Structure 1
């Protein structure tokens, strides 16, 4: 059994979007690479730093992790369906893949407290029951979960709550629910046959753009004014806009990348996304090294922009060089070995 995915089987647009998601995630994680100690120096949020921080809240906060989560759901369907086509047991094989991710994620937490990998692995198990479900059933579940999630966040914003209600709303409005929503969204889109055939569904995607566009604009303005007013509910407001904004971003990206010239221009970013697991793990080490070299006690928003850009440029160059000699990233290879229990030695053409 050869579980590798050849270059011809890869969908370039997915790799590009995955690479862009990694870039966006950097803008959130870089600030967390330097732990702020109580009573110590604090980042500067005045002037241009305040503007940058607000723009990160508007355009990046929680959105790019959500894009990454969507692609995880897409990856689950592609992985499981290919496993089934080979005569493998898709659910069992993916469960083993999640266990491997959990182990690596737990180790990574000791190196970077903000690692999302272990959480992804745990939430990923919730996808398993949906593999054999009908598309209509998945749609109903997705609509219900999104509705409950949004109502919970609205409840946190506006409803006076007692301790029991606050707990319930906190659970339903949690970021973990948003991650699962995007997992299930990606799985649904892949199962429905959209991935790799965007052109055939362009009218539905344009409709999605028209529906989510006004939400994107509205939430952007709301977040801007809330950030300027130091609103204590800012994170809840950002969370409320995550689903429509992420859908808007994804619809834009898939539409734009239907243009083969644009897709070709972004191919170097696709190389970063092609070994997203390795690059995600490497980001924390590169980021902490750069912060140390720069001698920063704290990381301001303007520092975040500079450091995130440097890290991503390094990863583009490294990824392009790596794939000139190898067909798979180093940690992707380890993850695959942990999933299948044997070393994959055949280089794919």
Structure 2
């Protein structure tokens, strides 16, 4: 099994960072004056709704998927070298947790420490076969979808599913995709990703339409957003594999891949630049429009500096 570096994964990771940044920018404002952050999720403006439908929970789900893929590649590579993969991975999680604790003290809402804790749930998968991992993934999917549907149809309450469960679900999905050997950009895999994307596309569209039509009902809309985030994230992943496994498209998105190769650094940098620019522009509140142009500004800087750095320090 190859453990080479896949350009498609770096480019997906880089793109996911932009989506995460766009969602996080409004929260950076609260760090400049210690004011409480009020989420724009399910706000009634058109732009807020589009962000909710297309980006909210979806891009950090892609990022989580890639963490699971990274677990598979890391442990496989370590095992091939005769090293102890779980011990090495635990050491990585420990340092990620320590840094994440310091990071969350400065920037509340940081996911680094959370990733480290939830990442422990990947350890039992290292010795499981692809089939056994797939069974566990199916159990997770059935549990969350079944519970959500029950609450939507029978007992309407706000969603029980926090981000932690979604993160773990996507971790396991990434590990499963790696174990199945679905990372290779072969013609057969391109056909698979195309079929999966076309299968999920109607579900994504229906989920978006329902979200738009139910936004006035906060409880129901919250469930729709949570429920649709899973097939939407899977659909995005399939579509991105289709795009980035195309050699011409992959070359065009090389700068995005540079951002993805330096994902940890760029994730931290987003927080720093976000606070600096919001303070510099003296924004009392960050609207969705301001979040978009601030995210584009910050990400543009990351594209330039990551490309410059990677030309001098190839990874």
TM-score (norm 2): 0.92
Which residue does 1:142 correspond to in 2? 137
Which residue does 1:85 correspond to in 2? 80
Rounded Cα–Cα distance in structure 1 between residues aligned with 2:99 and 2:37: 33
Deviates more, 1:255-264 or 1:31-40: 31-40
Which residue does 1:342 correspond to in 2? none
Which residue does 2:302 correspond to in 1? 315
Q: What secondary structure does 2:127 align onto?
A: coil
CA shift at 1:221, angstroms? 0.6
Indicate yes or no: 2:57 matched with 1:58. Answer: no
Indicate yes or no: 2:299 matched with 1:302. Answer: no
CA shift at 1:236, angstroms? 2.2
Q: Return 5+ residue gaps in structure 1 as ranges.
A: 1-7, 329-349
CA shift at 1:40, angstroms? 8.9
Q: Describe the shift of the 1:38–1:78 C-alpha distance in structure 2 as closer, same or farther (beyond 3 A).
A: closer
**What count of residue pairs does the alignment treat as equivalent?**
311
Q: CA contact under 8 A between 1:66 and 1:246: conserved in structure 2?
A: yes
CA shift at 1:111, angstroms? 1.3
Runs of 4+ with >4 A deviation? 36-45
What aligned pairs does 1:171-186 form with structure 2 within 5 A after superposition?
Answer: 173-186=161-174
Q: What secondary structure does 1:297 align onto?
A: coil
CA shift at 1:201, angstroms? 1.7
Rounded Cα–Cα distance in structure 2 between residues aligned with 1:224 and 1:120: 31
Which residue does 2:154 correspond to in 1? 159
C-alpha RMSD of matched pairs (Å) = 2.5
What aligned pairs does 1:7-46 form with structure 2 within 5 A after superposition?
Answer: 9-35=4-30
Rounded Cα–Cα distance in structure 1 between residues aligned with 2:235 and 2:19: 15
Q: CA contact under 8 A between 1:41 and 1:298: conserved in structure 2?
A: no
TM-score (norm 1): 0.83
Bigger radius of gyration, 1 or 2?
Answer: 1
Q: CA contact under 8 A between 1:208 and 1:251: conserved in structure 2?
A: yes
